[in-house]
Amino acid sequence: MDEPETPDAELVSRTQAGDPQAFDKLVVRYSPRLYGLVYNMTSNHEDTNDLLQDIFAKAYRAIKGFQGKSSFYTWMHSISVNMTINFLKKRNRRAALSLDDVDNGIMNDPDFIEATSDHDPRHQANLGELQKRLNEAMMKLSQEHRAVVTMFDIQGMPHSEIAKILKISEGTVRSRLFYAHRQLQNYLQEFITN
Amino acid sequence: MANEPDISKLLKLKRYERPPAGYFDDFLSEFQSRQRAELLHRPLMEIVWDRLSSMAPTFHVPRIAYASMAALALAASTLILTRPMAVQPSLASANASPGSLSLNSPQPVTIGQGVPVVFTSTGSPSVHYVLPARPVSYASPRSF
């Protein structure tokens, strides 16, 4: 039987008291989710790996100052988004895409079948094309719009949580989403069924 | 607006993009080795800052407040230590008027007669004080 998961707040307190193993547990817990956030904003696996290391290192250094005014989840996402946006601003030229593999489960996803059915019956061939076009379209958005799309559409976070992370109003989150969706529709018109 | 749900469905497909198998298992060990390497190559100022921070009381006061107070204290100390001495050379080296007395003077000095006393920085070991009245200690002690 699995032991109940230790709450974030307890692990944070233990880390603040000088227990590095407690922070290791937080790293294990949050790395997959934050990987997705950073990866979908950079579309580059190597950059994501380096950034994620830096994000956790920064969080570890700053955790003594974490007073629990927001949840650890929100705090970590804020650090991640800010560091990724700063990184992308410094990365002058558009870096080449370095994409992760796509899980085979996508073949049975009705949305994938629907998106690729008009093109070619061989979905495997279209998979690479769709992935490339999706990532290219994402990279055409500004960093701020990409962050909102990543958190809302890909990670499924509610508007209120995104607003807290980005320290903006929910109205701004909605308007950024609206604008970003309109842009993405133009880039990905051929995959959208009317 | 009609296509908005479709674009959301397409974007959700990005969830299937995954890092190589075993990536997250290796991530923690890479993080730990980086942390250790960082500890070995930390700048001296960072170590000093960390030590000072850990010594500071853990009130809910932002670190910047401690830093400001420390900077203020440092500035004040520097100001005090580098300030010139208050002794004015013009006063110290001024020639005493014929009627005044100097502490360097071999003559006895009587306090309380309205005679100006001039202090000079070149102090002399032989200074005499003559009090106009009998010292208090010479009076007979009182018994309670």
Interface residue of A98, A99, A154, A174 to substitute, partner B, most B CBs within 10 Å: A154
Q: What pLDDT score does A1 carry?
A: 47
Whether B65 and B102 share a structural domain: no
Q: What is the pLDDT of residues A69-115, one digit of tens each?
A: 899 999 999 999 999 999 998 886 667 778 887 777 877 788 877 77
Residue in chain A nearest B4 by alpha carbon: A181
Whether B74 and B119 share a structural domain: no
Whether A6 and A74 share a structural domain: yes
Token digits for A147?
């962050």
Whether A5 and A95 share a structural domain: yes
Among A residues 50-69, those touching chain B with beta carbons less than 8 Å apart: 52-53, 56-57, 60, 64-65, 67
Whether A22 and A48 share a structural domain: yes
Q: Rounded to an integer, what is the distance from CA A102 to the centroid of its chain? A: 16
Whether B76 and B47 share a structural domain: yes
Asked if residue B9 belongs to a domain, the reply is no
Count of CA atoms in the C-beta half-sphere (13 A) of B36 = 6
Q: B54 or B1, which is more confident?
A: B54
What distance in Å separates the CA atoms of residue A154 and residue B121, rounded to the nearest whole number? 82
What distance in Å separates the CA atoms of residue B83 and residue A79, rounded to the nearest whole number? 46
Token digits for A124?
């495997």
A194 secondary structure, DSSP code: -
pLDDT at B117 over 60: no
Cβ atoms of A154 and B14 within 8 Å: the answer is yes
Among A residues 85-114, those touching chain B with beta carbons less than 8 Å apart: 99-103, 105-106, 109, 111-112, 114
Burial (0-12, 13-18, 19+ Cβ within 10 Å), A164: buried
Whether A93 and A18 share a structural domain: yes
Say what percent of chain B tops pLDDT 90. 12
Amino acid making up residue B23: Y
Asked if residue B137 belongs to a domain, the reply is no
Q: How many domains does chain A have?
A: 2
Q: Which are the contacts of B27, defined by CB distance < 8 A and separation ≥ 6?
A: A27, A31, A49, A52
Q: What is the pLDDT of residues A7-59, one digit of tens each?
A: 999 999 999 999 999 999 999 999 999 999 999 999 999 999 999 999 999 99
Whether B51 and B78 share a structural domain: yes
Residue in chain A nearest B21 by alpha carbon: A101
Whether B46 and B70 share a structural domain: yes
Whether A182 and A121 share a structural domain: yes
Residues belonging to chain B: 144
Q: Which are the contacts of A140, defined by CB distance < 8 A and separation ≥ 6?
A: A183, A187
Whether A3 and A82 share a structural domain: yes
Whether A26 and A86 share a structural domain: yes
Q: B101 or B63, which is more confident?
A: B63
What distance in Å separates the CA atoms of residue A175 and residue A171, rounded to the nearest whole number? 6
Whether B29 and B72 share a structural domain: yes
Asked if residue B6 belongs to a domain, the reply is no
Beta strands in A68-122 (DSSP E): 101-102
Residue B122's domain comprises 97-132
Asked if residue B27 belongs to a domain, the reply is yes
Residue A93's domain comprises 1-100
Which one of A73, A100, A127 terminates a domain? A100
Q: At A155, which CATH number?
A: 1.10.10.10
Whether A78 and A6 share a structural domain: yes
Whether B55 and B31 share a structural domain: yes
Token digits for A160?
């209120």
Token digits for B125?
């070991």
Determine the average pLDDT of the residues in B38-57: 74
Asked if residue B31 belongs to a domain, the reply is yes
Asked if residue B117 belongs to a domain, the reply is yes
Count of CA atoms in the C-beta half-sphere (13 A) of A73 = 10
Q: List CB contacts (< 8 A) between B14 and chain A.
A: 40, 131, 134-135, 138, 154
Q: What is the pLDDT of residues B68-81, one digit of tens each?
A: 888 999 999 998 88
Interface residue of A29, A33, A35, A46 to substitute, partner B, most B CBs within 10 Å: A35
Q: What pLDDT score does B3 carry?
A: 45
What distance in Å separates the CA atoms of residue A194 and residue A114, rounded to the nearest whole number? 11
Token digits for A25?
């547990």
DSSP assignment string, B95-120: PPPTT-EETT-SS-EETTSS--EE--
Asked if residue B142 belongs to a domain, the reply is no
Asked if residue B141 belongs to a domain, the reply is no
Q: Rounded to an integer, what is the distance from CA B99 to the centroid of its chain? A: 47
Q: How many domains does chain B have?
A: 2
Q: Is A176 helix (H, G, I), strand (E, B) or coil?
A: helix
Q: What is the pLDDT of residues A117-156, one digit of tens each?
A: 765 555 555 788 888 899 999 999 999 999 999 999 999 9
Q: Rounded to an integer, what is the distance from CA B44 to the centroid of its chain? A: 20
Q: B99 or B60, which is more confident?
A: B60
Q: At A76, which CATH number?
A: 1.10.1740.10
Q: What is the pLDDT of residues A177-186, one digit of tens each?
A: 999 999 999 9
Whether A113 and A27 share a structural domain: no
Cα-Cα end-to-end distance for chain B: 105
Is the C-alpha dihedral spanning B47, A34, A89, A50 positive or negative? positive
What distance in Å separates the CA atoms of residue A110 and residue B33, rounded to the nearest whole number? 43
Overall pTM > 0.90: no
Which one of A100, A117, A138 terminates a domain? A100
Interface residue of B1, B16, B30 to substitute, partner A, most A CBs within 10 Å: B16
| Neighbour tally for A24: CB within 10 Å | 19
